[in-house]
Structure 1
Amino acid sequence: MNAVRPIAVKLDQNTRDRLKRLAQARDRSTHWMLREAVAQFVDREEKREAFRQAGLQAWEEFQASGKHVTHDEADAWLARLEAGEDADAPECHD
Structure 2
Amino acid sequence: MKGRAWHLAEARQRTSHWIMRKAISQYVEREEKREALRRDTVRAWEEFQETGIHATAEDVDRWLESWGTDNELHAPECYR
Name the TM-score, length of structure 1 as normaliser.
0.77
Shift of 1:87: 4.3
Shift of 1:91: 2.2
2:29 to 32, 43, 66: 43
**Residue 28 of structure 1 corresponds to which residue in structure 2?**
14
**Residue 73 of structure 1 corresponds to which residue in structure 2?**
59
| RMSD of aligned alpha carbons | 1.2
Runs of at least 5 residues in structure 1 that lack an aligned partner in the other structure: 1-14
Runs of at least 5 residues in structure 2 that lack an aligned partner in the other structure: none
- The number of aligned residues is 78
1:90 to 72, 76, 80: 76
Partner of 1:93: helix, strand, or coil? coil
| Partner Cα separation in structure 2 for residue 25 and residue 35 of structure 1 | 16
Shift of 1:89: 2.2
**Residue 17 of structure 1 corresponds to which residue in structure 2?**
3
Partner of 1:76: helix, strand, or coil? helix
Name the CA shift for 1:71/1:46 in 2 (closer, same or farther; >3 Å): same
